Amino acid sequence: MNLLVVFMVVYEERSVSRAATRLQRGQPAVSNSLAKLRALTGDRLFIFRCRMFQPTKKAILLADMLSACLPSGLSG
């Protein structure tokens, strides 16, 4: 599964469970993809706050760059 697509769906949904449903994958697969991307970026990317994932500054920058590159609707 493309790590950047997973990232964008989690970013949009602010939830690993909802992202997994949208991607038609299991929650552990989405969590594993996120862990790989965290290791690659050296950033937590999301902080769990108020019952949802809040993006870090680095995640916001990454999402801004990706939204310009990924076709609309690609992630879901």
Is the pLDDT score of 21 beyond 60? yes
pLDDT of 19: 96
Question: What type of residue is 37?
Answer: L
For 25-70, write each residue's pLDDT tens digit: 999 999 999 999 999 999 999 999 988 899 999 999 999 999 888 7
All structural domains of the chain with their residue ranges: 3-69
Enter the tokens of residue 2: 């493309």
Choose the CATH number for 3-69 among 1.10.10.10, 3.40.50.150, 3.40.50.720, 3.40.50.10710: 1.10.10.10
pLDDT of 22: 95
pLDDT of 59: 97
Question: What is the pTM for the complete model shown?
Answer: 0.87
Confidence of residue 75 (pLDDT cuts 50, 70, 90): very low
pLDDT of 71: 66
3-state helix, strand, coil in the chain (%, to 5): 60, 10, 30
